[in-house]
Chains A and B, each alone.
Chain A
Amino acid sequence: MPTIELQNVTKTFGKHVAVEGLSLTVPQGSVYGFIGPNGSGKTTTLRMIMNILYPDSGEITIFGEPLRPASCDRIGYMPEERGLYKRMKVREVLEFFGGLKNGDGIGAKVDRWLERLDLADWANKKVETLSKGMSQKVQFIATVVSQPELVLLDEPFTGLDPVNTDVIKDAILELQAQGTTVIFSTHDMSMAEKMCDYIFMIFKGVKVLDGTLAEIQDKYGTDTVRVKTGDGMSALQNLEGIERVNDFGQVQELRLAPEGNSQKILQEILKRTYVRSFEIVKPSLHDIFVRIAGPQAKEVERA
């Protein structure tokens, strides 16, 4: 039984269509990544799943039942904009938020999570004394402390340093290992590639990608060459058969034109400089995202 099923869900604000005809199935125990440019409809979709916003049409099924207010007690939700009572102590605020959903043994659960995320020493400090990273970890605990079966995280890694990013990432994977379904939205494509079982992309309110990373990449074929040369980007100017060059500094990604031939391109580069590595790969999620939502994107194509 899927944890979430959205069927042809539409939500408008005035004349603006925020989400249009969205259908989505989230399997139980999966990590599902929501990607899309700002304002594309990710947060609106999450809010509809949380029953904070009501869809104009379509149906949302959670845990095999039509969405109803009581369903939210089984869902943990961390909005994009973090919000904690600044004048409350860390332990108090966690017990309060956790207790609103499931107050059973909340004190022990709070202690365990504070220990787990290295915040035990801050339990009796006021929230206003915490750094941004610590506040974000407290917000994460407030979301998961009631042991929800489904966790919705709206951009959980934004503003975190690499150490804290790893802490949150490990915690998410630990939740998944315990059977929790996790949905998170992110602008970090590499994190989505590495962590998500499934990736969903929404653009201008319309679903444009949905599936595993491999399925998504297969759709775009092997039209990408990742190359490292002695002269970097300067050796790749005006190559024939190339549609676009994405320069990462140490490495460049070349997207082949439909008529492009990778062997000819390799020969041309070798004429110009020496090649350290030359690899024919599937396009990265970052590249796919840019192809869909970048300035040169064509019309929105439904997935």
Chain B
Amino acid sequence: MRKILRFALREYKAAVKTKGFIIGLLLAPLVMGGGLIAFLLLKDRVDTTDKRVAVVDRSGLVTRALVSAAEFRNANEILDKESGKKIRPAHFFEEVKPSTNDPKGQRLELSDRVRSGELHGFIEIGPQVVHPGKDPEAFQISYYAKNAAMDDLRGWAAWAINNRLRQVRLADAGVKESDVKDLFFWVSVDGLGLVSLDESTGAIAEGKRASPLEAILIPIVIMMLMLLMIMMSVPGMLHSVMEEKTQRIAEVLLGSIKPFEFMAAKLVGGIAVSLTSSAVYFVGGIIALQVMGYEDYVPLHVLPWFFAYMLLAIIMFGAWSAALGSTCNEAKDAQSLSFPTILPALFPMFIYFPVVKEPLGSFATWMSLVPPFTPLLMVLRLCTPGGVPAWQPFAGLLGVLLFTLFFVWAAGRIFRVAILMQGTPPKLANIVRWAIRG
């Protein structure tokens, strides 16, 4: 044990004292969460250039209302009330008389005006838009622009047009709008957790309000964090064992320690590196969430499971990685084995969405009990608001433990043979033979 710890300490120092580790520690969450951060930072940045849109209104009932709504918006909503700074673009609508004999030619002409920059886009409103008939083209509203799918103006115009259509339809039905002002009051359905009884006080605790942050984002972030911890140590073991073999350090070490101790020291070193990183991320993350007022969302009850599963995942995948590293004769071999090494750890990323969407479904349950996928998927499920049945994390842990013992046993046999083997390529047949025969 003394030798394992001494060697593991060297591995740990060799990993954490490098600039690469410190840069990686800082960059990894930025890269993995970069999209989210960029979205949060840039979501309020909008193009404030005024937009002019032509309207071809074949119903003859909408354009005026649209222009009025835009004028109201331009007067009241595009400037920041405190600073007076322009925060949104002004919208201007230009009525264009519909062409009856050449609608296609008219659309082409308007498209050319958009291409030249004179217009931002144009809207064409079907003649039967107020009372749609059987012909879809007759009541269709079309918005033409360079990037129509992602254009905010399309959504605003749809709201303004439908407001006008509602007024016209009520008037046609002989109903005063003021009489039915609640008709269009939209009531949303609140998502709540289950009500529970506090046994100590006898009080009934209300269900916790469910939020997308808690239901999806937190589980995914925790799962990504575990993947990050695995990725920070496991692939490195492949390369460091390969280097020790190719630089002939392995034989010197084997003069002092047994092959199994060699591999065990690598794993202990890798675990220490991951624990260091995860401690930094957890402490940093909890402080950041407290500052932002989201501390209630930290699933503290999951942390013991997180660390237990992370520990076993690193041992399981690390043993596999070290064994494969011992079969490599050159850097090229290690490169080609990098992906197979991390594939079992990456696989849960391909199926996380159906799992987080229905964490208690049979697919999520069974996949999270497949040992190589258990650490990531079980933690993902544990972080969801409903949690999982109490027996499942224990069953998953037992499965992972047994699988890890098998992995370490097989990896140790491969490692012992391959670490001194020079010139024998790391073919699957050789690896299986070494694992079976030792």
A248 to B14, CA, bound (A): 51
8 closest residue pairs by CB, A with B: A77-B255, A83-B248, A83-B249, A81-B248, A100-B256, A79-B251, A83-B252, A52-B254
A77: chain B residues at CB < 8 Å are 252, 255
**Other A-B pairs, 20, CB within 8 Å; known A81-B248, A139-B252:** A47-B420, A50-B254, A69-B258, A72-B255, A73-B256, A77-B252, A79-B248, A79-B252, A79-B255, A83-B244, A84-B252, A85-B10, A85-B249, A86-B247, A97-B252, A97-B256, A100-B253, A100-B256, A100-B257, A101-B256
Chain B hits for A87, CB < 8 A:
14
12 CB contacts below 8 A, A to B, read A47-B420, A53-B420, A77-B252, A82-B248, A85-B14, A85-B249, A96-B10, A97-B252, A100-B257, A101-B256, A103-B2, A139-B252
**Candidates B6, B244, B249; contact of A100 at CB < 8 Å:** B6
The docked-state distance in angstroms from the alpha carbon of A53 to that of B255 is 11
Q: Encode B13-42 as 1/0 by CB contact (under 8 A) with A.
A: 010000000000000000000000000000
Contact in complex: B256, A72 (CB < 8 Å): yes
Give the complex CA separation of A81 and B253 in angstroms: 12
Instruction: Write the nearest CB–CB distance from B81 to chain A, whole angstroms.
Output: 61
Provide the bound-state CA to CA distance between A84 and B247, in Å.
8
| Distance in Å: Cβ of A73 to nearest Cβ of chain B | 8
Query: Chain A residues in contact with chain B, CB under 8 A?
Result: 47, 50, 52-53, 69, 72-73, 75-79, 81-88, 96-97, 99-101, 103, 139, 142
How many angstroms from the CA of A76 to the CA of B256 in the assembled complex? 8
Q: Name the prevailing secondary structure of the B interface residues.
A: helix
Give chain A residues whose Cβ lies under 8 Å from the Cβ of B247. 83-84, 86
Measured between beta carbons, the chain B residues less than 8 angstroms from A50 are: 254-255
Q: Roughly how many angstroms separate A83 CA and B249 CA in the complex, as a whole number?
A: 4
A100 touches B248 (CB 8 A): no
> How far in angstroms is the closest Cβ of chain B from A85?
6
Chain B interface (Cβ < 8 Å from any Cβ of A): 2-3, 6-7, 10, 14, 244, 247-258, 420
B255 touches A75 (CB 8 A): yes
CB-based nearest A residue for B249: A83
In the complex, residue of chain A having the shortest beta-carbon distance to the beta carbon of B258: A69
CB distance from B250 to the nearest CB of A (A): 7
Residues of chain B lying within 8 A (CB to CB) of residue A139: 252
Task: Name the distance in Å between B265's Cβ and chain A's nearest Cβ.
Answer: 10
Q: How far is it, in angstroms, between the C-alpha of A81 and the C-alpha of B244 when the chains are bound?
A: 12
Tell me which residues across on chain B come within 8 A of A84, comparing CB atoms.
247, 249, 252
Complex contact A99–B254 (CB within 8 A): no
Q: A50–B254 Cα gap in the complex (Å)? A: 8
* Bound form: Cα–Cα A88–B18 in Å: 12
Taking CB as reference atom, which chain A residue is nearest B261? A69
Return chain A residues, CB-CB under 8 Å to B249: 83-85
A69-B258, A72-B256 known; A100 and B3 CB under 8 Å? yes
Contact partners of B254 in chain A: CB under 8 A? 50, 52
Distance in angstroms from B58 CB to nearest chain A CB is 76
Across-interface contacts of B3 in A (CB, < 8 A): 100
Residues of B within 8 A of A101 (CB): 256
Residues of B within 8 A of A53 (CB): 420
- Are B252's CB and A142's CB within 8 A? yes
Bound Cα distance A85, B10 (Å): 11
